[in-house]
Amino acid sequence: MNSFSFGAESSAEKCLENMDRIFMGLEKKNIKVHPSCRFSIFRKNFEEFYSKVIVGDEESESFNLPGLLEGYRDYCELKLIYSSNKLMSGNILNSMDKNRTARDIQFQLSFAAHLELAGYSLIIQEPDFLIEKNGMIYSVAAKRLSGKSSVYNNIVKAEQQILNHSYPGFIALSVERLMDEKDFLLYLNDPDQGSEICYRLMYKLIASNFNSKHFVRNDQVRALLFSFSMGCIAPDLEPGYSSAFTYFSVKEPESKYGKEVEDFFSHYCITDEDFFSV
């Protein structure tokens, strides 16, 4: 088992430019970003924050900073999805399962783009997507956990998705929603600390919300993958984004399947510069 973390900084002005570029790019693909959707609302609120607080002299306390940073995280995930040629080719966004919530789909797509950026090939196929490296193919069932009561049932649902298909698979879980809402605001004196803090928060959430029953799975499930991400803010009020990723094999590390998982993720490679190249 290894852990990986990365972060990104972007000027507020650059964020606004990127949002406009992404919206225009999506419209060219006939994907309309409605003015009432959370991305548009974040764009509007962030522009106001930029003009009144970062450029102006208004106090930041007049804004809902936790909500603003959650919106910034959504923006970073949207940017990650938009950067994937594989995901943006064809009509994948319009063909997603309409029974799933928008946030579930957002995690599925952003996590797929994350793994593609880390060096794996994407195959758009059920259960949610497949990843390939050196001839090894795994299915991935991705779930964004909405709270502590949702953990076990989501793992069982993801396991069943994998069992309905022939490839061995991974259950990918987004765990930031297991954190108390009051902790969603992350101030950083040093932006470089963001990735390390995300790493520690992720492990704290795993330790307090998961036990052995969550890891006793069918042999076709090879590992549980954990993702944690959040927006953060520096002393100059510029926004940032940090993310952490780890995996746990459901079998002993020295077992055949345990070694197989270790070998597969030994190829994982991602840097801050890769993530926020634009």
pLDDT tier at 220 (50, 70, 90 boundaries)?
Answer: very high
State the Cα angle at 133 between 129 and 136, rounded to 5°.
80
Spatial CB neighbours of 79, under 8 Å, sequence gap ≥ 6:
18, 22, 278
What's the pLDDT tens digit per position in 57-104? 787 777 888 888 888 888 888 888 888 877 776 555 444 454 456 777
54, HSE (Cβ side, Cα atoms, 13 Å):
18
Whole-model pTM: value is 0.83
What is the pLDDT averaged over residues 142-162? 93
d(CA 213, CA 164): 21
Pairing of strands 136-144, 129-133: antiparallel
E strand or H helix that includes residue 222: strand 221-233
Cα separation of the two ends of the chain: 31
Residue 272's closest CA among 232, 241, 233? 241
| % the chain with pLDDT above 90 | 32
Give per-residue burial for 82-99: e unless 16+ CB within 10 Å, then b.
Answer: bbbeebbeeebbeebeee
What's the pLDDT tens digit per position in 172-214? 999 988 987 655 666 666 656 777 888 888 999 999 999 999 9
Cis peptide before 239 (omega within 30 of 0): no
